[in-house]
Structure formats: C-alpha cells, structure tokens
Structure 1
Amino acid sequence: MVKINASLVEALRIPLPDIEGQRRIVAAHAAFERRIGALQNQADKRAALLSGLAESLFKQRVGQLVELGSVPGERQSGLTLGAHRAPRHNAVGYLRVANVRKGWIDADDIAVLESQERDRPRYELAKGDVLVVEGHANPEQIGRAAVVDESVSGLLYQNHLFRLRFDDVIPDFAALWLNASVVRSYWRTRCTTSSGLYTINSKLLAGVPFPQLGLEEQRQITEACRVTSRSVESAKQQIRKIRMLQDSAVEDMLAG
C-alpha cells in the first residue's frame, strides 16, 4: 500500500489566494457541480423514459420467459479489491458500481488499480458486454444494467458487478429487459442484505426471467427505443464536456 506521512503533507506547496479569491474559486466549482448535477438528473429522467417505452413494447411482444441461465453466453463476476490492488507499477482503469447507471455507463470518474498478468483474460471489458450491479446500499438499485461502449472497452471491473456476454441476444435489448419492471420485481423479492449492503449472487442471476425472442424482434424493440437512447447519450456527452471545462477553469484559477 502506498502511504504518505505528515512531513510530506507539511512540505506540500499550495496556492493561497486572498479570501475573496478563494470565494470565487469555490463559487465557480459549485456552479459547475450544480450544472453537472442537473444534467445527470436529466440523463436519469431520459433513461427512465427509455425504460417506460421499453416496458410498453415488452408488454406487446414478450410471451414465454425462460431463466437467464439457459440463455447461451457467459456470466462472470468482477475482481476483488484490496490493499494488493493499490496502483504501483501497472495501473489500469476499472469500473465500479458508481459507473454503472441504469441504462448507461458514467465514464467521468474512472478509478485505477494495480493490474496483474492474469487479470485481462478474465476481467477485461469488451464493447457489447452488459454489466449488472451486484451490490448496493439501496435495494432499488440492485440489478441495474448498462452496455459497455467504446469509451470503457478495455477496462477491468470490480466484484460488485456481473458481466454478461450473450451469443444470440442483442446487448441493448438485454439491458432494456434487465432494467424493466419484471426483473425489478424479481430482485425486490430476492436480494438480501448484510451490514446494510444488499447483494445478489450468481445463482439468483441465473434465475432471472428472460424473454425468448428472435434477433429480429429484439432489433425492432431496440430500434424503437433508439431515439430516446440518443437523448441519454447527448446528456452524457454534455456532462463530459462540462467536467473538462470545470477541471481547466479551476486549475487556471488556482494557478492565479
């Protein structure tokens, strides 16, 4: 584990603007945070609209359900964190629960860990992987799902997430279904808590009800949802741009 001591902290050189200058910096930072918060709420609302649209389409199209464990593909939990994962020589980005929102990946705050040689074959993410939240303090957030895109492809992922890879299922369709009310109800009656953290396991994941639909029917549902999905992506892009502006502006103000 990498540590710092009191003497290093005391030797740290920091800018010291006057009180009025400090207030301006804090106010600017707070303004950016308010805007980012508003955009995140907007993205979540658009994702909720997307879920609502998907729900109505599922009611029209979905018939027989099977268990997810019978659907061809793989289900893999992520790597366990610990002191041995403190970045030293081979730091690699990884996704946490906070990065996997309902219907989209938040790539604005990527943490890093120490990667080992055996990690990539087992834990590396690829475009089209579906991530499912395995543990959360809020039971309503258990099982929320999102599809990995180019921005986070190649990263690793932590053990409070499951990674799904399908053979004959469109990833966007899978995420829409996993965020739908049928699956939400399934988790609500089955997730357990330990020390305030609600969790699910691989056996419960394999038992998730999943629709038997052909690729064409899956494609029709995802295409119908694509316009709303693009509005979610637009909000995400705005968040990323404002984060960059925030970092630049605050750095400039601190540098005087």
Structure 2
Amino acid sequence: MGVEAVKPGRHSWPEEWQRVSLADAGRWMSGGTPSTSNEAYWDGEIPWISGASMKHLRITDSERRVTRLGAENGSRLVDKGAVLFIVRGMSLKSEFRIGVTQREVAFGQDCKALVPDDGIDPYYLAYAMRVLTPTILSMVEETSHGTGRLDTNRLNALEIGVPPLPEQRDIVAAHEAFERRIGALERELGKLRTVENAIVAGVMAESGGRIELGRWLSSIEAGKSPMAEDTPAGDGEWGVLKVSAVQPGWFKAIENKVVREAEFINARYRVCVGDLLMTRANTEELVGLACVVRERAERLMLSDKTLRLVPDTGVAEAEFIELALLSPSVRSQVRSRATGTSASMKNIGQSAVRQLMVPDVPKAIQRKVVAAVSASRKRSQGIQRQIAKLKQVQQGVVEDLLSGRSRVNRT
C-alpha cells in the first residue's frame, strides 16, 4: 500500500467524498460529575474521563472511577468507539486533546463526546478533527477564571471531508504505521532514560552520606521580570525567561518574552552556556526543576522566577548538581519545602534551596557519572531527532490524505 499524489480540483475534497459538518458527523453528548459527597457514586469499575486523564489517543482508563449508579446520576456513559475531546480547561490554551474510547467510560463536563454515525470510522473522525487543531484553538475563549472554553456552536460548524469507509480505514492504517514506528523509538528512548536514572540512583545509594547543597554553591543569583510582551524575542532582541524555559535536564530557549524597553535590559542577568538554572516558582509538580544551559542563548535574561546556581567548581560539577536536583529524593524535598497555599503556584526560597540534602560524592566520581549519563543522553538525542522527523513527515502525509491531495494506492 502506497501513497500517490492527485491534482487538486476546485473543491476542498475529491468529488466522491462527502462534505460533513461536525454537527452532522454523529451524536453529540455532554458529560458531568457525580456528587463527590456521595460515596456510592465513586471508586467503582467505570473510568471517569476528564481533561487530566486524556493524555493519549486511545482512551482506556483514568485514575478516577465511578460506579454505575454514579455514572447514571450526574455523568454520562459512552461505549467503545466514541470520540471524546476537551471543551474547557487550561490545556485548551495550548493544545486540543482528543481521543477514542476503548471501552465503556463516563466523562466529565469539561469534555464532549461525539459518537460517529454509521459510515464514519471513529479514528478517522478523531484524526480529521485533530488536523483542525489550529482553527479549533483560535476559537477558544478565556473565562473569568482564566481557563479556556471552546464555543461548541462554532465547533459544530466546522466541516471535514469523508471518503468511503474503506479509504477512511486506509488513511487510519497509514497513520498507525507511523505511530508504530514512533512508539518503538519512544520505547527505546524510555529504556535509555531508565539506564540514566539507574546510574544516578546507584551513586545516590552508594554515597557515604548527605550534605547541604549550599556547601557546593558559591552563590545563588535571581533575575527580574520587567513588563514584557508574551512573544519570543527575535533576532537582535532581548528576552526574559519564562519558567517553562527550564525543563527537566534541558533548556528551552524559545520560552521567553521579548523585552523592548532598553531601561529593563540588564546584562548582569544574561543567561550563558554552562549556567545551572532552577525554577523558583511554578506549579507543585514543576517548582524546583533544574537544567544546565548547553547551547548558546542569545540575549536572554533571568526572570524573578528563575535562579542561577553558581557551583563552587573546586568541589562540584554543575552537571552533577543538575542530576542530583532531578533525582526523586531531592524532588521530594523540593515539594515538601515549597511554600504557597495554591497548588498552581508554589515557591522555594534561596535558603531552602541551600538546605536541600544531596549525596556527598567526590568531584572525581561526579565527573564519571556525568560522562556516563552524557553518553546515554547523546544517544537519546539522536532518537529524539528521529522521532521529531517522523512526526513531521507523518503530519504532512496524514494532512494530505485527509484533504484528498494524496490518495492511498491499494495496489
């Protein structure tokens, strides 16, 4: 089975395809939440799907479950083969989560269900809707609470092209062929990360004791957060870091806000290659993340929510401190020391950072650990590049198939 290009006609889709609005693609259903005060409604056998549990295309389970009584009193049930998607929540500000149920599930009011009509494959429908993500995200409105809300009336009006069912299934099969290859690479990547974690865990377990992180640091520096546009700095412009620039073990330079006023630019806060950065404020799960800047960062400054940890190079390696800060034992300390009443914004002060207990490992051993992990990460980066390339090709091929610009050759 291959893919062959066709010349586009005057229509968006081939003439033999049906033009179908999402409103007419199937039966729409709204969800709900059973009363949390009624114990008879919860901890049953039926997965209750919310935005938090929609992480994959194939929806199989959820951390929260309801009883059949609960599903019938405040929620809704759908069978296998329903398309679920998010219509309300913070995630709508950056992504459109959609999936296909693999079993009977209940779902909350932040989701909608679309049970496709006969003649429409549920996976084809999900892929066709996912391709519309840029358009769908442009419809998202912000509520008074700051969350995103999708106007389903506008969503209903969107149209998709629907080929005959055999061609739908061919398109789904082409998409899934990419998914299998990507999945195999992601599993290989997971194994490498397991090896990296085992290397660090072994050193942690074998170290003779623990010392305060402050004994490895010469200083801690904080930046400032001037008024800035929520758009990345361009060539020749200065930017201030967002907390999302600090990822677990890697630096995401694009996560910054442009600073145009010269009075707010201070080279003292400039981020340099080799800097060890840490988030001072973030959500409960993300506060205290750390990374070493390994690539040149052009004209980027620390914000007041990012810290630069300056190691005492006589006793510690920045890369080893990064590994220690990302280890489960230290992450647990960070969460326990972080302050703030809201789970959406926790803070950890400089004194608390200095008091974090890390393994007392000689610098010579630190270097060996860093070298071993770096070799593994180099292999991981190669796999990540393969995955990124495959996803790029996949997106182009599937978009062409869904638009009818290319057709699956079954010969």
TM normalised by structure 1 equals 0.69
Compare the two structures and name the one with the higher helix fraction. Answer: 1
Q: Is the Cα–Cα contact under 8 Å of residues 248 and 289 in structure 2 kept in the other structure?
A: yes
Which one of 189, 193, 205 corresponds to residue 353 of structure 2? 205
Find 1:53's aligned residue among 199, 202, 217: 199
Q: Does the CA-based 8 Å contact 1:134-1:160 persist in structure 2?
A: yes
Larger RCO (alpha carbons 8 Å, 6+ apart): 1
What whole-Å deviation, never above 9, does each CA across 1:115-163 have from its counterpart, x for those lacking one?
A: 64674432111211111122222x2322221110124365223222211
Aligned to 1:222, what secondary structure does the other structure show?
A: helix
1:185 match: secondary structure? helix
In the alignment, what sits opposite 1:102? Answer: 248
Is 1:175 the counterpart of 2:318? The answer is no
Report the 3-state secondary structure (helix = DSSP H, G, I; strand = E; otherwise coil) of the residue aligned with 1:54: helix
Counterparts of 2:287 and 2:187, CA distance in 1: 19
Structure showing the higher strand proportion among its residues: 2
Cα displacement string for residues 201-225 of structure 1 (whole angstroms, at most 9, x for unaligned residues): 1111111113333321111111222
Change (3 A) 1:153 1:173: farther
Q: 1-side partners of 2:305 and 2:132: how far apart?
A: 35
Task: Give the corresponding residue for 2:274.
Answer: 128
Give the superposed CA RMSD. 4.3
User: If the length of structure 2 is used for normalisation, what is the TM-score?
Assistant: 0.46
| Aligned pairs for 1:57-206 within 5 A | 57-60=203-206, 62-83=207-228, 91-107=237-253, 109-114=254-259, 116=262, 119-137=265-283, 139-152=284-297, 154-168=299-313, 169-195=316-342, 196-206=344-354
* Pairing partner for 1:227 from 375, 381, 384: 375
Deviations 1:170-196 (A, max 9, x none): 221111111112211211221122443
Aligned counterparts of 1:152 and 1:206: Cα–Cα separation in 2: 26
The question of whether the paired residues in 2 share the 8 Å contact of 1:51 and 1:179 is answered with no
Q: Aligned equivalents of 2:337 and 2:13: distance in 1?
A: 54
Gap change, CA 1:190 and 1:72, over 3 Å in 2 = closer
- Counterpart CA distance in 2 for 1:65 and 1:234 is 35
Deviation at 1:63, TM superposition (A): 1.9
Q: Which residue does the alignment assign to 2:17?
A: none
Counterpart of 1:191, as a letter, is: A
Structure 1: stretches of 5+ with no match in the other structure: 1-16, 250-256
Instruction: Please name the residue that 2:162 is paired with.
Output: none
- Segments of structure 2 that go 5 or more residues without pairing to the other structure are 1-9, 15-126, 135-174, 398-411
Alignment length (residue pairs) = 233
Deviation for aligned residue 1:68: 1.9
Taking the aligned partners of 1:49 and 1:176, their CA distance within structure 2 comes to 13
What SS does structure 1 have at the residue aligned with 2:274?
A: coil
Alpha-carbon distance in structure 1 between the residues aligned to 2:357 and 2:301: 27
Q: Distance in 2 between matches of 1:106 and 1:247?
A: 23
CA contact (8 A) 2:244 2:255 kept: no
Aligned residue number for residue 4 of structure 1: none
- Indicate the structure (1 or 2) with the bigger Cα radius of gyration: 2
- One-letter code of the match for 2:131? A
